[in-house]
Structure 1
């Protein structure tokens, strides 16, 4: 960067200083207007450190952009349009841009396969129609639970890159997509060849829809007590359908019990290691029965004359209904060696992934773990099975059934064999055995698609073995290629010395080249001597309990543009497995009270715990109100009026809300059913990310007259709520981005960034998007109002007084991410073209779409759209800071209309990505420091959330407000400081 008295340059973009705190990017080329940055020197350095300036300049290419695009002092890069950006476009011949309002980025190519519940894998693109009914596997370190999927997004044509590991795993993603590394989640553009990432070896079976049939019905239990039948019916286990989720869990239980379970009277027993038995307990509970705790006892054993003692762990279910269910599904009753059971016949009618559930749990109990016969080569994992001689045909059939099912899954097996006969106290037995072929690709296929369930230790071994074999095969394949090329070069007359030189950096030595040239190769080569033995590999390669193995990136290369997709899971880890790679995954209002800081001291922990318990938060969140279809329609159409009618708001609340809490332009009919469905269970929830509820105290008053009008004074307690329209608003934006990209591709092609997708003013899509967006704004106001209602109830319980006595009145509620039709005075030149005020020769009023992305409206005193209660002083402006630095209340400044279309900053503005924040900060440490040093009590869904929102990841809010105040676009009134904070 070069620095002179009048200009600054950042990454090739020159800014000219117009006056103190105002910098301009001059209009040139295809820009339709100049751009301006409002910042002090320290803030400008931070703004110039990312893509904010490039995005701001790109925004000036929007049709009808008026005067200039502006970046507020808290600006930072977003997607397409910078956060903290303001852009006004002509409402007659300009455009409206969802990208300039705000939306989430998408990350993976459509064919990327995501691991979902019950050992299945699905393309991420294929999740669109039913993602809310699906559950994704979440590699969470200690385990890999399944989680509901709350978000699904799609965007056309973004540049994707292929990431490849030394084991041959590949995935296609955009540069913003986070990958899990030993240092936490790291975005792809921060990774390079040689960096380490976690990959989950197990992929599962491609998803398939099972044929629907009745597996069991009441006729199968006609000899049982009717009460047992009623017990099964009440748990929705009769009739049992092949497509039922409970049936999938029962397949696992039957398979494992066949291998390592027993019945005793009405009791069903399962034996294994404690962590594996916990997984079995979860499945038993999930189908409606109550399992025992894990029992532990020491038992003495004798094998071949050798005596030893081992600890045995077990669980049981005492429900006869469960026992009878397992028996009828194929679990053998009585002595297994004396039984004539075979594999359940219904397996022949099931989808592959269902068959794999049964096989994998039986193998988890009975098959040997992966092991080596020599340093680098593996045994065939095998399973043995004993039957009395008189039951040998049934035993043989059982084993051959297992072989057949494996073969139908594409997994080769070794020859079935009768191993031995043995005299036992129960009679003469015969032992059968078969193994999975140890040919490398076949063994990898078995370990990564079927493997071992209910056996964590074998699954960890399988993960390591699969990764080892894949790396080994890649090295062998590369050496085979070199041998073939070396021989071809020699046949073409190239000297051996030259061939050796060409392959000097490859995994071969001179002797290998010589043998390839002179002798040729009739078999595949072996790995080089330096390739590690499996035992060495196990010692050096970390593998987690969730099956994720640490591996190394071998290559990252650009592929071009493709449609991209993303999902969001409800689990706190916010991670899922895509192609095995572990990847991740508004507005504000203030409520004043008549409490003082002294009143609240000693109650902080009770207050934060109660607020956290009573205000839903997190990615999924749930809601305070379970809205039916009529409720959602009413909220979208009437906003805060609905809340008033339902008893969640007061007349005073509406009077102190922007637009009185209702956008009259709202058109619920233009909101998709999918968006409405997503919002239905989120009414009254904070969400995640930087959304929060914070109890604060007023520490400073800068303008006593305005503060008095706002009802603020020093040491007073206030509550700040920052959240938006949740999944509904996200879906509205996603829906219209798709439609606009398809319907107005010509306009999109003329823009420098496709994330600025816009619809021409006056077009059908522009009108529909505006109506749907206004409906989403209504939803957001109601969302914050319901949180306000619940917050009032919490304060009433904690301080034993009703909300009215506590003076819990709404100060103001203002939207942050919005495009609004507003009439503004615009400077024009002699052609009537809008120009900056200083260049204007005339002025005229025009209706504009004012896009405020991460910016807040800041109308001055006297403006007709300021609520009557504040019209004499100006609109309240609320600027949240970080949870360790405080927030501000401003008032719309006299210069805001002339400089920023009546706008100012909306917060402190990030200087560090969420990924970088989690690498820099530890959530629990941040919480402890805030409590011990600043007496701020923080409660969040996870430590990662706290780390992402640590005070150090934000700009200096004091500096942001100083610039706003100095420019007269938002004047300081009061400063607040956190007391307690809850985050999603």
Structure 2
């Protein structure tokens, strides 16, 4: 075979294992694929060849762009791709290094602080003034928005859940699942996602007016006025954030607040709810007390009981007078003629909702079942004296008007004569929200309860229950309609009943018209209380929902935001969405030393090496730590007791990139890295204890310190969220600043900064700093592994000779000097995306330990196929800019892998058949990384060895493996 055709692209065979896409059209150079015919069949099965061809359009590409034997489709630039691009007249491209971009259409609604929502596109120009809601597992909290991006049209997909939540997103946008953040491409129908059913109210800019001025306190002590002025609540404007906090406090006080001694204001609730009230008190500049606890006796209808009462107080006279000025009654509420604050009708709907939802949190009953599948109408009531009853009626009438403006219907205000108290004749007033399902959905999802987590959790369940119930009713309506149509067409009732998985009596009534109104859910449908027992709502008010459909939704302009909160997610359309390299350590242990202790070892490693999505690392970093790591790399690890000098001597670049510039790394990226120092992450990142099974070059293996049956440890991970954020930050800035260059490229995902531009220099400095971070990340994991081995084998790591063989980066662009056309030497940005450097002996960049033998290369395989140690081949400089493959390369997506494999079965098979012990955060992770998901690593390495770009030295096989 001299040519190979793949979906309109023809490759010409140059020699064995070398295939070339000739230069044509806008290509600046040819493209080459290094592969056997079998591997080429797999490489051509996705968009790898087209992406490789597109990469040659980048200005300054020299010789050719290359795809390694493990190549597969990436984002813009193929994984396993290498390109040497001139540093004078070329460019540097984040897409050719690797980056993370997650996008949503502009119409996606984002939850904001103060119970608001807005379309994503509306945040442009004001995102820095806003806060998005973040679900961090422990709470639902507002977080500053630090980033807003807009991108060209991209393919988007619509996700629909069992309760009817819908959202459109690009395939790489992460969604929160039980296993952590998972990209849409990796989700399937039947998977579980976390949703936030509360929607809030559309954002509207408040009309600006002065609520309180100094004149409203002219009779007060001047010192009290100064206190209010010092806290920026005097004068008080309708557009002040402090005013929004005060609206909530005031609403809650009218329900569960009271006055005490001089200056005292008391609030009563459960401890978790009081924390939220205390937080708002602090936001307006006042100091709350601690939370008090006391047991109190009560008598209701002759029944005595005790309960624990929780409360806190403020002792500021200024704060108390501020509440009074806003409308809080000064005397006992029952006899105080208070009604709605006079300014309330001048506010936006979302501001009024702050006031009323806080009142509902204190006074309204929680969602509960009336008759199994129907809910009671939520009600509020208050007792007033006969003389102040009209004020109370007006208070509730204003409430009715507000709810009505949102389309929420209420019952008529009820009046009940009550037993007179010791001082006054009294009247009981009551207002309820109509309990029609759609009406309750509007109430619970737009207004709901504030300052009451129990009621809020219950309302989340109510929303999901009502949505589920509505879907079931719609399903039964559809069946009824179809059954009627079939009957009208002459079908027999028995045949019609056989068509549907539903009660036969239901079909009969549908045919013969024996039903008034909409059908009810069937008997098997759970009642509300039963449903509540079946589902759990998180402390952040997220609830599980099942994906029922993922469908293409065309191409749309897409947007994204980035929040400062370390959870790096936000709530969009009710969904919680988000916003490497390898090293090997040697030991003098043999396989005999480990056999029989595999389970103990894998459990200890899993317990002591942080893994999975989110935060948590070996070292709890400070801001200064992150700066030092970005600047000095492995030198920081040595200074802080996480490394020994020999570790630096056996690391690429001795573990320090001198071109790093921490000042070019965004604060957001630094914040993401701060709590992830020394952590594996997730996906294909892993830690694996291995045994050496084969040695192919005895002399080189001896130089590397490897021998058959020896135990080694391989660590595969990168710079975690910090590196992703660096690439994301610069990609988006490059898209805007160098849009002219972007228009010349066939794929917008290849966005690049011209060499010599400020952005190119800034990105290079930031990327080098991220490389330093990645080296330290792997070093801290190695330090932890040493400690685990010491405990398990009861000897020091020095006794076990746990020494670093080598650490090499996988996703990187480096300034290197290479020979290009006609023997000319040029400085290039060598982009290696999912490829590894493979320098032969004599190359000056090699550490002295390997200058005479060549660079060690570590190529991980799958859990069931083993890995390889190579050394830089003599032909690598001329063929691949000193590069080779970095792994086996994926054959199928994570979604397909989860459909093909079951994590538990994979673990059992590996243990029973191959004696490999695997432990992971979830079965899904194991399924995604099953041996059958990857190309044949033996074939990948065979091609590398045959081409002389990476010479086989030794093969290893897993003993135990931990994954994130």
Fold-level match, TM-score > 0.5?
yes
Moved more, 671-680 or 744-753: 671-680
Moved more, 145-154 or 103-112: 145-154
Shift of 1:121: 3.7
Verify the 8 A CA contact 1:724 1:783 in the aligned structure 2.
yes
Query: SS at the partner of 2:824?
Result: strand
1:137-181 deviation per Cα after TM superposition (whole angstroms, max 9, x unaligned): 5599xx996698999684632325484979997644334446799
Q: Structure 1 residues 390, 560: closer, same or farther in 2, change over 3 A?
A: closer
Between the aligned partners of 2:110 and 2:462, the Cα distance in structure 1 is 22
Of residues 704, 713, 717, the one that matches 2:707 is 713
1:724 corresponds to 2:721 = no
Q: Structure 1 residues 48, 559: closer, same or farther in 2, change over 3 A?
A: closer
How many pairs align?
Answer: 875
Correspondence 1:172-191 to 2 at 5 A: 172-177=168-173
Between the aligned partners of 1:465 and 1:817, the Cα distance in structure 2 is 48
Of residues 936, 939, 949, the one that matches 1:969 is 949
Between the aligned partners of 1:796 and 1:250, the Cα distance in structure 2 is 57
Query: SS at the partner of 2:614?
Result: coil
Between the aligned partners of 1:422 and 1:914, the Cα distance in structure 2 is 66
Query: SS at the partner of 1:462?
Result: helix
1:434 corresponds to 2:409 = no
Q: Structure 1 residues 938, 393: closer, same or farther in 2, change over 3 A?
A: farther
Q: Structure 1 residues 184, 28: closer, same or farther in 2, change over 3 A?
A: same
Residue of structure 2 equivalent to 1:859: 839
Shift of 1:100: 0.5
Between the aligned partners of 1:346 and 1:793, the Cα distance in structure 2 is 65
1:459-512 deviation per Cα after TM superposition (whole angstroms, max 9, x unaligned): 333345468779999999xxxxxxxxxxxxxxxxxxxxxxxxxxxxxxxxxxxx
Verify the 8 A CA contact 1:400 1:416 in the aligned structure 2.
no
TM-score calculated relative to the size of structure 1: 0.72
Residue of structure 2 equivalent to 1:810: 804
1:650-671 deviation per Cα after TM superposition (whole angstroms, max 9, x unaligned): 3222221112222233334443
Residue of structure 2 equivalent to 1:80: 76
Verify the 8 A CA contact 2:373 2:527 in the aligned structure 1.
no
1:619 corresponds to 2:614 = yes
1:981 corresponds to 2:946 = no
Verify the 8 A CA contact 1:380 1:437 in the aligned structure 2.
yes
Q: Structure 1 residues 569, 73: closer, same or farther in 2, change over 3 A?
A: farther
Residue of structure 1 equivalent to 2:44: 48
Verify the 8 A CA contact 2:688 2:961 in the aligned structure 1.
yes
Of residues 875, 881, 886, the one that matches 1:895 is 875
TM-score calculated relative to the size of structure 2: 0.74
Between the aligned partners of 1:691 and 1:569, the Cα distance in structure 2 is 24
Q: Structure 1 residues 290, 695: closer, same or farther in 2, change over 3 A?
A: farther
1:748-786 deviation per Cα after TM superposition (whole angstroms, max 9, x unaligned): 111110111122333333333323322322232233223
Query: SS at the partner of 1:762?
Result: coil
Query: SS at the partner of 1:859?
Result: coil
Q: Structure 1 residues 933, 393: closer, same or farther in 2, change over 3 A?
A: farther
Q: Structure 1 residues 194, 654: closer, same or farther in 2, change over 3 A?
A: closer
Query: SS at the partner of 1:46?
Result: helix
Verify the 8 A CA contact 1:372 1:534 in the aligned structure 2.
no
Residue of structure 1 equivalent to 2:215: none
Q: Which runs of 5+ in 2 are unaligned?
A: 213-235, 281-287, 478-514
Shift of 1:818: 1.0
Of residues 934, 939, 945, the one that matches 1:959 is 939
Residue of structure 2 equivalent to 1:448: 445
Of residues 825, 828, 852, the one that matches 2:819 is 825
1:639 corresponds to 2:642 = no
Between the aligned partners of 1:30 and 1:100, the Cα distance in structure 2 is 18
Residue of structure 1 equivalent to 2:490: none
Query: SS at the partner of 1:779?
Result: helix
1:628 corresponds to 2:644 = no
Shift of 1:709: 0.9
Residue of structure 2 equivalent to 1:157: 152
Verify the 8 A CA contact 2:248 2:354 in the aligned structure 1.
yes
1:602 corresponds to 2:597 = yes
Residue of structure 1 equivalent to 2:505: none
Q: Structure 1 residues 561, 816: closer, same or farther in 2, change over 3 A?
A: same
Q: Structure 1 residues 396, 651: closer, same or farther in 2, change over 3 A?
A: same
Q: Structure 1 residues 662, 150: closer, same or farther in 2, change over 3 A?
A: farther
Verify the 8 A CA contact 1:889 1:973 in the aligned structure 2.
yes
Verify the 8 A CA contact 1:195 1:553 in the aligned structure 2.
no
Moved more, 376-385 or 803-812: 376-385
Q: Structure 1 residues 714, 134: closer, same or farther in 2, change over 3 A?
A: farther
1:650 corresponds to 2:650 = no
Between the aligned partners of 1:290 and 1:928, the Cα distance in structure 2 is 53
Query: SS at the partner of 2:712?
Result: strand
Between the aligned partners of 2:963 and 2:931, the Cα distance in structure 1 is 14
Of residues 19, 25, 48, the one that matches 2:21 is 25
1:461 corresponds to 2:456 = no
Of residues 35, 53, 57, the one that matches 1:57 is 53
Q: Structure 1 residues 179, 319: closer, same or farther in 2, change over 3 A?
A: closer
Correspondence 1:525-604 to 2 at 5 A: 533=520, 545=537, 546=542, 557-558=553-554, 560-565=556-561, 577-581=571-575, 583=577, 586-600=580-594, 601-602=596-597, 604=599
Q: Structure 1 residues 899, 302: closer, same or farther in 2, change over 3 A?
A: same
Between the aligned partners of 2:618 and 2:209, the Cα distance in structure 1 is 35
Q: Structure 1 residues 422, 473: closer, same or farther in 2, change over 3 A?
A: farther
Between the aligned partners of 2:670 and 2:553, the Cα distance in structure 1 is 40
Verify the 8 A CA contact 1:364 1:458 in the aligned structure 2.
no
Q: Which runs of 5+ in 1 are unaligned?
A: 216-240, 272-276, 477-527, 829-842
1:877 corresponds to 2:876 = no
Correspondence 1:47-446 to 2 at 5 A: 47-110=43-106, 112-115=108-111, 119-121=115-117, 126=123, 136-138=133-135, 154=149, 156-159=151-154, 161=156, 163=158, 171-177=167-173, 201-206=197-202, 317=310, 356=353, 359-360=356-357, 363=360, 367=364, 382-386=379-383, 392=389, 395-396=392-393, 399-400=396-397, 402-403=399-400, 406=403, 410=406, 414=410, 417-423=413-419, 430-436=427-433, 445-446=442-443
1:373-399 deviation per Cα after TM superposition (whole angstroms, max 9, x unaligned): 999999975444455757746754664
Residue of structure 2 equivalent to 1:839: none
Shift of 1:706: 1.5
Correspondence 1:766-805 to 2 at 5 A: 766-805=760-799
Verify the 8 A CA contact 2:160 2:166 in the aligned structure 1.
yes
Q: Structure 1 residues 951, 209: closer, same or farther in 2, change over 3 A?
A: farther
Residue of structure 1 equivalent to 2:887: 907
Residue of structure 2 equivalent to 1:489: none
1:688 corresponds to 2:682 = yes
Between the aligned partners of 1:540 and 1:8, the Cα distance in structure 2 is 63
Verify the 8 A CA contact 1:616 1:684 in the aligned structure 2.
no
Verify the 8 A CA contact 2:116 2:350 in the aligned structure 1.
yes
Shift of 1:185: 9.6
